[in-house]
Amino acid sequence: MQRAYRSALLWIWRRLYFGTVTVAGRLPARAATLYLSTHRNGGIDGAIASHAAGASPVPVAASQITRSLWGRWSGCIEVVRSTDRERHGHAKGERDPLADALARLAASESLLWFPEGTSNGGPALLPVKRGAARLLAAAAEQGIGVRVVVMGLHYQQLHALQSDVEVEVAEPPELQPAALAMVAANVRTDEIQLRIGNALRAATIEYPDARIQDAIETLTATLALPVVASRRAMLRLPPATVHGWTLRAQAASPALPLLAAFWFMPWSAAAIVWLPTLAIAHALTRRADRNNKAFIRSLVAMALIPLNLALSSWLLAMAGLHWPFAMLGAVVLLPVGLVAHRQLRLARSHTRLMRTLRDECAAHGVRVQ
């Protein structure tokens, strides 16, 4: 029951908030697999990482999530961090998370772990905690064969509705059971921690500083470029070139939504039904922490879906439809409105100026398709 609830919740999350989720290098699901993922966007990372795993691994989550109203039935393995004790007054749980995780792997279950311990939307990977390394070291000592898969999560825009996501998936040979068994027991945990950090770093796009990160991410999102390939290519270019492109794109942006609305009139009409929900979600998360903003917005949006349906039904009824048909129309408009937001955003990237910028990027070796 917990697995079904968790799978349904994560599926709704992914479909509601994100557009296309592309998984590069997806591997077949197997028993006793430990999925190690970068942590970019708060609790919502769990929805993307679970989808990329192609299964429903049991997440290892902070007590901030497992003791929330919606998270207490999710069946996650609970970890009480120092921040949870300080901010929320959470006491340590009765079950040892490491022993619980080890028992589940021994029972051929799969786990999802975020080794950074907290989400990070910044320019570089955070230091890797020892928890996952201790788990793999204990598994090696007990002869439990654990397959390790590493995932890098890359968001087109961290907080934007219907933003695209790309996930890089790899199975590092240095983290597989045969390789770990060859490491001396007295240094095994430290060595595994180092290897996990290197594997996650290889799946992360690291920027020299936050300013360059903001310029590259803004530009690739505005031009709707492939997330991973274009950003890695731009890191090889002079920063002045990238900043110049970004300033030109931002200078044209204020007029673009209006142009897009006229270009895609049917889509813009459908997008209106989501405006009240989005306005409330944005207002409530204006001062939210950067790393949890999308997570909180998605929760607010899900909670407001009944209001959205009621408002849409009323508008359609006022337009002359009988109430049963108005209610059915509101249900249909819900997913159509999400697609509309995606189409309006894509429309911005195909105006004349944006096409010129895309051509210039392509001329510098940046992938644009």
Total count of residues recorded for the chain = 369
Burial class (CB in 10 A: 0-12, 13-18, 19+), 254: exposed
The band of 346, judged by pLDDT with boundaries at 50, 70 and 90, is: low
The band of 99, judged by pLDDT with boundaries at 50, 70 and 90, is: very high
pLDDT in tens, 30-41: 889 999 999 998
In this predicted structure, the answer to whether residue 58 has a pLDDT above a threshold of 50 is: yes
Closest C-alpha among 342, 363, 115 to residue 221 = 342
β-partners of residue 59 are 112
In this predicted structure, the answer to whether residue 89 has a pLDDT above a threshold of 70 is: yes
**Percent of the chain clearing pLDDT 70 (strictly above):** 89
Residue 41 vs residue 166, higher pLDDT: 166
Q: Taking residues 46-74, report their average pLDDT.
A: 83
In this predicted structure, the answer to whether residue 83 has a pLDDT above a threshold of 80 is: no
The band of 232, judged by pLDDT with boundaries at 50, 70 and 90, is: very high
In this predicted structure, the answer to whether residue 264 has a pLDDT above a threshold of 60 is: no
Q: Provide the pLDDT for residue 262.
A: 43
Is there a contact between 329 and 321 (Cβ–Cβ < 8 Å)?
yes
Q: Taking residues 282-287, report their average pLDDT.
A: 75
In this predicted structure, the answer to whether residue 252 has a pLDDT above a threshold of 50 is: yes
In this predicted structure, the answer to whether residue 57 has a pLDDT above a threshold of 80 is: yes
Q: Taking residues 246-250, report their average pLDDT.
A: 83
Q: Provide the pLDDT for residue 280.
A: 78
The band of 256, judged by pLDDT with boundaries at 50, 70 and 90, is: very low
CA atoms within 13 A on the CB side of 166: 17
In this predicted structure, the answer to whether residue 259 has a pLDDT above a threshold of 70 is: no
Residue 98, CA distances (Å) to 102, 108, 156, 189 in order: 6, 16, 34, 14
Q: Taking residues 284-303, report their average pLDDT.
A: 74
**Percent of the chain clearing pLDDT 90 (strictly above):** 37
In this predicted structure, the answer to whether residue 211 has a pLDDT above a threshold of 80 is: yes
In this predicted structure, the answer to whether residue 230 has a pLDDT above a threshold of 90 is: yes
Is there a contact between 140 and 181 (Cβ–Cβ < 8 Å)?
yes
Which residue bears the tokens 């340590």? Answer: 92
Residue 135 vs residue 119, higher pLDDT: 135
Backbone angles phi, psi at 81, to 5 degrees: -85, 165
Q: Taking residues 50-71, report their average pLDDT.
A: 83
Q: Provide the pLDDT for residue 165.
A: 94
Q: Taking residues 236-261, report their average pLDDT.
A: 73
Q: Provide the pLDDT for residue 261.
A: 45
Structure letter (DSSP) for residue 74? S
Mean residue pLDDT of the chain comes to 83
Going edge to edge, which strands form the sheet with 18-24?
A: 18-24, 163-170, 147-155, 33-37, 111-113, 58-62, 77-79
